[in-house]
Amino acid sequence: MLNQLDQLTHTDSPLAQVGRSARLSLTRSVSQLAAADQVMLRQLLENDCDYVDNKIFRTKTAERKLFDEAPEIAKPDTSWYHPVMDKLGDARQANSVGSVLLTAKQEVALFLQFNYCRFRVAKLKKKIDPVSIDPDLAREMLDWHSKAEAYRDQIAQTNLALVLAMAKRTRMSEVDFADMVSEGNMALLRAIDKFDVARGFKFSTYACRAILKAFSRAGVKQTKVRSLFPTDFDPKLEKSDYMQTKREDHEEDCVDELKRIIKENRAELSDIEQEVIEHRFAVGGRRKVEPEAHPLTLEQVGKIIGVTKERVRQIQNKALEKIRLTLEDDFLL
């Protein structure tokens, strides 16, 4: 086993060996940090940290103005958010369960706080020596990154309803609803990273356009995939109609049983009840006399038997209740 490891080490490229030595030096420099923090620190040092610049970031009072003097902003409640369930994925539900509608001043403050945190991460990255990392600088960098992610999450959660509203407005048949919501969420995050409040526009205006573009790209991509991999019609892949067929057979059996109940008068209907049922639903003896007979209204039946249509309704309901009980006893149970 040791020989195999030695062989792997010696066969590594020079670039891979440099990368391994850099990772080892990083681990030794910040060995007192938690494992998750070490992984995050490595990612921050290896990747670019973009931010939307603002002139206020370089002033001496930036932190006091951006954080201490900023308006208070409530965090949204996203318990209503169920993107994979179409019937629950209604953006209007957000209004009844703790949705937060930001004012223009609050929105500006939130985006400035988010980008200032990323600005500080970028500045600290320039100060840190990758070979020998100062643990204090590393902790400060991780702290600002954590704050930036928290502000990013808050902005995203506040604007989740935008994604559902745009998804319901477009509803492309070739793209699944859950896939559309996923594409919209990714577009929302990208819009948060690129939005510049200094231009004076509302974020919703910028984000909606980005989300709709993401939906369009998803539809084009899905169309291309289907054109590259066409499939012939296969009856085996069709949705089974077993339950529908079973339900129809059950209904036919119930109808046949109802006809027998009425024909044999197993529900013990009175003469007037039988007459009302036969006229109202064109069944029984009336069907024999008039094969093309149609059901009559309550008023028409009332004129035939000489009572009001309300009295016909009462007789009908009583007869139907008797038939229902007989059907349940003889057939359904």
This prediction's pTM: 0.58
Q: Look at residue 95 and tell me whether its pLDDT is greater than 70.
A: no
* pLDDT digits 0-9 by tens, 13-72: 554 554 555 554 555 566 777 888 888 888 888 888 899 999 999 999 999 999 988 888
**Interatomic CA distance for residues 181 and 153, integer angstroms:** 17
158 shares its domain with 246: no
Does residue 294 share a domain with residue 154? no
What's 175's domain CATH number? 1.20.120.1810
End position of a domain, from candidates 228, 262, 283: 228
168 & 57 share domain:
yes
Give me the amino acid identity at 333. Answer: L
- Residue 12 forms part of a structural domain: no
Q: 176 and 275: one domain?
A: no
Q: Which of 228, 253, 288 is the last residue of a domain?
A: 228
Q: Is residue 250 part of a domain?
A: yes
* Helices and strands of the chain, counted as H and E runs: 14, 0
Q: Round to whole Å and give the CA distance between 21 and 15.
A: 10
Asked if residue 11 is part of any domain, the answer here is no
- The reply to whether 128 and 197 lie within a common domain is yes
Residue 112 has pLDDT above 80, yes or no: yes
Say if residue 265 is in the same domain as residue 218: no
- Reduce the DSSP state of residue 59 to 3 states and report it: coil
- What separation in angstroms does the CA of 211 have from each of 95, 175, 201, 205? 21, 14, 16, 10
Q: How confident is the model at residue 87 (pLDDT cuts 50, 70, 90)?
A: very low
User: Is the pLDDT at 133 greater than 60, yes or no?
Assistant: yes
Q: Over 70: is that where the pLDDT of 1 sits?
A: no
Note whether residue 7 is domain-resident.
Answer: no
* Residue 186 falls inside a structural domain: yes
Q: Residue 292 has what pLDDT? A: 72
DSSP notation for 223-245: HHHHHHS-----GGGSPP-HHHH
Same domain, 93 and 199: yes
Say if residue 52 is in the same domain as residue 190: yes
Confidence of residue 217 (pLDDT cuts 50, 70, 90): confident
Is the distance from CB of 97 to CB of 80 less than 8 angstroms?
yes
Q: Which domain holds residue 279?
A: 242-332
Percent of the chain past pLDDT 90, that is, above it, reads 27
Question: Does residue 8 sit within a domain?
Answer: no
261 and 213 share a domain? no
Q: Is residue 325 part of a domain?
A: yes
Structural domain total, the chain:
2
Within 10 A of 300 (CB to CB), how many other CB atoms are there? 13
Q: What percent of the chain has pLDDT over 70?
A: 77
**Residue 328 CB neighbours (<10 A):** 10
Q: What local confidence, expressed as pLDDT, does residue 232 receive?
A: 63
Same domain, 216 and 248: no
Q: Give yes or no for residue 139 having a pLDDT over 70.
A: yes
| Contact call for residues 73 and 106 (beta carbons, < 8 A) | yes
User: For residue 262, what pLDDT is reported?
Assistant: 80
Residue 235 included in any domain: no
Confidence at residue 224, expressed as pLDDT on a 0 to 100 scale: 75
Local structure of residue 65 (DSSP, 8 states): I
Task: Find which of 7-16, 144-153, 230-239, 245-254 is predicted with most confidence, using mean pLDDT.
Answer: 144-153
Mean predicted lDDT score pLDDT of the chain:
80
Same domain, yes or no: 202 and 296:
no
* CATH number reported for the structural domain that contains residue 327 in this entry: 1.10.10.10
pLDDT at 228: 73
Task: Give the domain-ending residue among 177, 203, 228.
Answer: 228
Model confidence band, residue 91 (pLDDT cutoffs 50, 70, 90)? very low
Residue pLDDT, tens place only, 149-192: 999 999 999 998 888 888 888 777 677 788 888 899 999 999 99
Beta-carbon neighbour count of residue 269 at 10 Å?
A: 23
Q: What is the rounded CA–CA span in Å between residue 182 and residue 165? A: 13
